[in-house]
Amino acid sequence: MNRWLPIIAAVVIQFCLGTAYIWSVFQTGIANKLFNGDNASAALTFSILLGTLTLGSTIGGRMQDKHTPRPVVFWGGLILGFGFILASFASPAFPWLLWVAYGVTGGFGMGMIYSTLIATCQKWFPDKRGLITGIIVSALGFGGVIFTPIARALIGSVGELQTFMWLGIIFIVVTVIGSFFIINPPVGFKPEGFVPKKSKSNLIQQDFTSLEMIKTPQFYIVTVTFLLACMAGLMMIGFTAPIAIAKGLTAEVAATGVMTIALFNAFGRVFWGWLSDKIGRKNTLLLLLLITAGVILLVNMADGLMLLVLIAVIGFSYGGFLGVFPVLTAEYWGIKNMGSNYGIILLGFGIGAIVSSYIAGYYKNISNVVEMVDGVKKVIGTDLSKMQPAFIIASAAAILGFLLLVTLKHPKEKSLK
């Protein structure tokens, strides 16, 4: 098989997974229709999806490491699609169904697919691991660009809940067909002319099992840094549209903001993955953490075009984290068990998703200006200055991640006894 066929199939499937990054298109409508205007409860849906994604990644990654990737993607696609279809039946009487269906079920299926695609494609391209990982994970960002106008059109026509049903049907069709092209290369496969390189510390690359990986101190440094690094990006992904509207931008321009963060999220995954091949994974991540820590503090000061620029930079940096951490995982602990190993490291990302979404939702609720209208509390505006503590927390997290990552060294050669 031409080694580009699995890559093309993976990219198309990743487009579907990119809908995770357009939650802000649904945020306000879902908050009002299902949660009586409670932004934190609505945002919890997004954070549950990302948190459960990490569990699906761990289990799916382990399944594909032990067996083959095709059935993992096949069943993951069915679970993902079913979750979105089930989410369409949520109502004000049963709002928790959205958390279970979209968040838990959809997130689990999405995770099964995500880590499996990355691990499989890395095996086909050991000579361009950083670049190819960037391409695969960038497709998820481009999926946000593709599905933002589709979701907005469907919301305008049938509403948020029925939009979930149509998206679920699309996901099932695409992932089931695409799964037939997701296979591992032959045992011992090496591209013509490829010679594995030793690390700069002259350590021989070895394959760690998940149990061996979690016994290394590097695992905890990488996982916690991942948690801290992604908080700023996740806050903006979940609340780009509400923040833009609160800044006085129209719904159409706010939707442009959603597409902007998705687009630059995608570009960042490719660019930073490529750069990490040149300057190293650790140096790339340190640079990204510094950029993130500074830019997130400027959001409240910006308006109009400058706000869109900051959104783009945050998305660009966030994409870099998602592009480089999987490559670093393979580089530190080997490619053989990459699926299950990266799935475990994604637990840090999942915890960061839950924490950051809650923090952003909490301060968004505080920032709402409410007045009584006919005996009912209604939101009439937003004082975004009250969201600044959320941005300060995200900046502090990035700085802490930087200080932690400075101490990271390549794992020592594991014992062969």
Query: pLDDT per residue over 13-25, tens digit each?
Result: 999 998 877 887 8
Average pLDDT over residues 112-134: 84
Query: pLDDT per residue over 248-301, tens digit each?
Result: 777 788 777 777 887 888 888 889 988 988 898 999 999 999 999 999 999 888
What local confidence, expressed as pLDDT, does residue 288 receive? Answer: 97
User: 46 and 172 in contact (C-beta within 8 Å)?
Assistant: no
What local confidence, expressed as pLDDT, does residue 54 receive? Answer: 83
CA dist 397 → 193, 282, 380, 385 (Å): 43, 17, 32, 20
**Is the predicted pLDDT of residue 164 greater than 80, yes or no?**
yes
Q: Is the dihedral of CA 190, 209, 53, 258 positive or negative?
A: negative
Residue 324, C-beta contacts closer than 8 angstroms, at least 6 positions apart: 130, 272, 273, 276, 281, 284, 285, 288
- Domain positions in the chain are 4-184+207-406
Residue scoring higher pLDDT (145 or 333)? 333
- Cα–Cα dist 126/132, whole Å: 9
What local confidence, expressed as pLDDT, does residue 132 receive? Answer: 84
**Is the predicted pLDDT of residue 371 greater than 80, yes or no?**
no
Structure tokens at 1: 């098989």
Residue 193: pLDDT band with limits 50, 70, 90:
low
Percent of the chain with pLDDT over 70: 91
Neighbours of 205 (CB within 10 A): 15
Residue scoring higher pLDDT (72 or 20)? 72
What local confidence, expressed as pLDDT, does residue 415 receive? Answer: 45
What local confidence, expressed as pLDDT, does residue 375 receive? Answer: 63
User: 61 and 116 in contact (C-beta within 8 Å)?
Assistant: yes
CA dist 271 → 8, 117, 342, 387 (Å): 19, 19, 21, 31
What local confidence, expressed as pLDDT, does residue 370 receive? Answer: 62
- Cα–Cα dist 295/301, whole Å: 11
Residue 372: pLDDT band with limits 50, 70, 90:
low
Mean pLDDT (the chain, rounded): 85
What local confidence, expressed as pLDDT, does residue 290 receive? Answer: 97
Architecture of domain 4-184+207-406: Up-down Bundle (1.20)
Residue scoring higher pLDDT (324 or 240)? 324
User: 317 and 292 in contact (C-beta within 8 Å)?
Assistant: yes
Residue 387: pLDDT band with limits 50, 70, 90:
confident
Q: Is the dihedral of CA 57, 59, 64, 65 positive or negative?
A: positive
Query: pLDDT per residue over 218-230, tens digit each?
Result: 999 999 999 999 9
Residue 399: pLDDT band with limits 50, 70, 90:
very high
Structure tokens at 266: 């995608």
**Is the predicted pLDDT of residue 38 greater than 50, yes or no?**
yes
Name the DSSP letter for residue 19.
Answer: G
Cβ burial, residue 186 (10 Å; 0-12/13-18/19+): exposed
Indicate the range of 167-176, 332-341, 379-388 predicted with least confidence.
379-388
What local confidence, expressed as pLDDT, does residue 203 receive? Answer: 42
What distance separates the 2 farthest-apart alpha carbons in the chain?
76
Query: pLDDT per residue over 302-353, tens digit each?
Result: 887 888 889 899 999 999 998 899 889 988 998 888 878 888 898 888 888 8
- Cα–Cα dist 105/111, whole Å: 10
Average pLDDT over residues 370-391: 71
Average pLDDT over residues 389-398: 94
**Is the predicted pLDDT of residue 116 greater than 60, yes or no?**
yes
Cβ burial, residue 82 (10 Å; 0-12/13-18/19+): middle
Secondary structure of residue 73 in the 3-state scheme? helix
